């Protein structure tokens, strides 16, 4: 199993989508984090009990932005929330990994390095871009401002810290087209490696 990580806006999704085109199963921690708080889930009920019904949007889904803002400045609440969600997310990641049928699979985790999850995987692939590019692309995608993105980046590992954990690096400073040969080469290597182990 290959762990994929990178800072906000580095291009993790763009890269894992390319691997998926080769039939590789991608387990995405961001997707799972949304699934565990779906309407009707035990986790969402617990969150409503703790934060009140105003944490729910009109459509019944969790207002993640309000929740993020609420726990941002309160360490105790943040710990409470992490203790609730992290075990659920981890179990789901393990279940989906076991269910994966491709020769190898990718585990895409934004905070792989920060949460010391590198031991869960056989290799670590980092999608790398400069901080300037990270901000530019995130602002465009999220329609947010540079200061908001910088605040998120400050809470994440630095570019150097991430690269220090990497077995493999995809450089995404150039165009999306330039990703293809890098992904192709890694896919061939991972297939070779997966023939020896899983």
Whole-number Å distance between alpha carbons of 184 and 174: 16
Nearest residue (CB) to ligand ADP, 49 versus 142: 142
> Which positions lie near ligand ADP, rule CB under 6 A?
6, 8-14, 137, 141, 172, 175-176
Residue 107 CB, shortest distance to ligand ADP, in Å, is: 14
Question: What would the DSSP string read from start to end of 9-73?
Answer: TSSHHHHHHHHHHTT-EEEEHHHHHHHTTSTT-HHHHHHHHHH-GGGB-TTSSB-HHHHHHHHHT
Task: Give the nearest distance from C-beta 47 to ligand ADP in angstroms.
Answer: 24
Residue closer to ligand ADP by CB (options 86, 180) is 180
- CB nearer to ligand ADP: give 25 or 128: 128
Nearer to ligand ADP, 96 or 172 (CB): 172
Q: How far is the CB of 65 from ligand ADP (least distance, A)?
A: 16
Residue 4: enclosing H or E segment and its boundaries? strand 2-5
Nearer to ligand ADP, 21 or 74 (CB): 21
Contacts 24+ apart (CB under 8 A), 60-69: 62/37, 64/34, 64/37
Query: How wide is the angle at C-alpha 118 spanned by C-alphas 114 and 122, nearest 5°?
Result: 160
Question: Minimum distance from CB of 30 to ligand ADP (Å)?
Answer: 8
Q: C-beta of 141: minimal distance to ligand ADP in Å?
A: 4
Asked if 132 contacts 124 with a C-beta cutoff of 8 angstroms, the reply is no
């Amino acid at each position: 199993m290959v762990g994929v990580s990178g800072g906000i806006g580095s291009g993790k999704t763009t890269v894992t989508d390319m691997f998926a085109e080769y039939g590789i199963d991608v387990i995405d921690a961001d997707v799972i984090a949304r699934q565990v708080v779906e309407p009707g889930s035990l986790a969402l009920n617990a969150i409503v009990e703790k934060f009140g019904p105003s944490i729910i949007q009109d459509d019944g889904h969790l207002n993640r932005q309000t929740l993020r803002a609420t726990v941002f400045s309160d360490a105790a609440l943040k710990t409470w929330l992490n203790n609730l969600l992290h075990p659920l997310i981890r179990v789901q990641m393990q279940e989906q990994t076991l269910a994966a049928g491709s020769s190898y699979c990718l585990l895409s985790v934004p905070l792989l390095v920060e949460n010391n999850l590198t031991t869960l995987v056989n290799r670590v692939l980092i999608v790398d871009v400069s901080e300037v590019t990270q901000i530019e692309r995130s602002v465009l995608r999220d329609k947010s401002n540079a200061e908001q993105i910088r605040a998120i980046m400050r809470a994440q590992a630095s570019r150097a810290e991430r690269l220090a954990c990497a077995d493999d690096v995809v450089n995404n400073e150039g165009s999306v087209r330039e990703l293809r040969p890098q992904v192709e080469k890694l896919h061939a290597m991972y297939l070779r490696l997966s023939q020896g182990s899983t």
